[in-house]
Amino acid sequence: MKKMSFSLAAMTVVLGLALGGCSGSGGSAGSENGGKDAPSTPGSAAAKKPEDFKGEITVWKGYNDVSQLFMKKYPNVKVNMDTPEKPEDKFTTALATGTGAPDVIDLSQAHFHKFKAMEGLENLLAAPYNAGDLKKDFLPLAWEMSTTLDGKRLYGLPWRITPEVMFYRADIFEENGFPSDPAEVSKLIADPNKFFDMAQKLRAKGHYFFRMIEEVTDMASPGVGYYDNNLNYLRNTDVFANAIDYAKRATQLDLVFPGSKEEQDRALNSGKLITYYGGIYRLSTFQIDEKGNKGSLSENQGKWRVASLPFGQTPGLGYGMYVIPSQSKNKELAWEYIKFAITNPEAQEIFLKTADLSPYKPVRDLKTVKEKAEPAMGGQKVLQFGFSLMDKMLYQSGNPLDEKASGIWKTKLSEGLTKNQDSRAVLKTIMDETEKAVSVEKEALKKTLGK
Q: For residue 242, what pLDDT is reported?
A: 94
Q: For residue 2, what pLDDT is reported?
A: 36
**Does residue 226 lie within any of the structural domains?**
no
d(C-alpha 71, C-alpha 78), whole Å: 6
Q: Give the mean pLDDT of 27-40.
A: 34
Which pLDDT band, with edges at 50, 70 and 90, does 5 fall under?
very low
Cβ burial, residue 260 (10 Å; 0-12/13-18/19+) = exposed
Which pLDDT band, with edges at 50, 70 and 90, does 174 fall under?
very high
The full length of the chain comes to: 451
Q: Give the mean pLDDT of 52-59.
A: 96
Q: To the nearest 10°, report the CA torsion of 66, 69, 74, 77.
A: 60
d(C-alpha 109, C-alpha 348), whole Å: 19
Q: For residue 122, what pLDDT is reported?
A: 96
- Classify 286 as helix, strand or coil: helix
**Does residue 188 lie within any of the structural domains?**
yes
Q: Give the mean pLDDT of 10-31.
A: 35
Please tell me the pTM assigned to this model.
0.85
Q: What is the CATH number of the domain that holds 161?
A: 3.40.190.10
pLDDT of residue 26 exceeding 50: no
What are the CA-CA distances from residue 178 to residues 36, 184, 189, 273, 322 (Å)? 55, 9, 11, 16, 43
Over residues 304-362, the pLDDT tens digits come to: 999 999 999 898 888 899 999 999 999 999 999 999 999 999 999 999 999 999 999 99
Q: For residue 214, what pLDDT is reported?
A: 87
**Does residue 233 lie within any of the structural domains?**
no
Q: Which of 13, 15, 434, 447 is nearest to 225 (CA)?
A: 434
**Does residue 265 lie within any of the structural domains?**
no
Over residues 143-165, the pLDDT tens digits come to: 988 998 888 899 999 999 999 99
One-character DSSP codes across 6-21: SHHHHHHHHTT--SS-
**C-alpha R_g of the chain:** 23
**Does residue 158 lie within any of the structural domains?**
yes
Q: For residue 20, what pLDDT is reported?
A: 35
**Does residue 239 lie within any of the structural domains?**
no
Tell me what the pLDDT averaged over the chain comes to: 87
Q: Which of 348, 322, 345 is nearest to 335 (CA)?
A: 322
The strand pair at 104-108 and 316-323 is best described as antiparallel
Q: For residue 46, what pLDDT is reported?
A: 53
- Classify 434 as helix, strand or coil: helix
Beta bridge partners of 169: 304
Q: Which of 278, 295, 270 is nearest to 382 (CA)?
A: 278
pLDDT of residue 44 exceeding 70: no
Sign of CA dihedral 153, 159, 163, 166: negative
For residue 393, the enclosing domain spans 24-192+280-398
Over residues 79-129, the pLDDT tens digits come to: 999 989 989 989 999 999 999 999 999 998 777 777 887 889 999 999 999
Over residues 227-240, the pLDDT tens digits come to: 887 888 999 999 99
Query: Count of domains in the chain?
Result: 1
- Classify 350 as helix, strand or coil: helix
Q: For residue 9, what pLDDT is reported?
A: 39
Task: Report whether 342 contacts 134 (CB < 8 A).
Answer: no
The phi, psi pair for 306, rounded to 5°, reads: -120, 130
Q: Give the mean pLDDT of 286-304.
A: 93
Over residues 384-419, the pLDDT tens digits come to: 999 999 998 887 667 888 888 989 998 998 899 889
Q: Which of 30, 231, 259 is nearest to 150 (CA)?
A: 231
Q: Which of 317, 252, 331 is nearest to 24 (CA)?
A: 331
Alpha helix segments (H runs only) across 235-344: 238-252, 261-270, 331-343
Peptide bond into 42 cis (omega under 30): no
**Does residue 408 lie within any of the structural domains?**
no
**Does residue 448 lie within any of the structural domains?**
no
Q: For residue 35, what pLDDT is reported?
A: 36
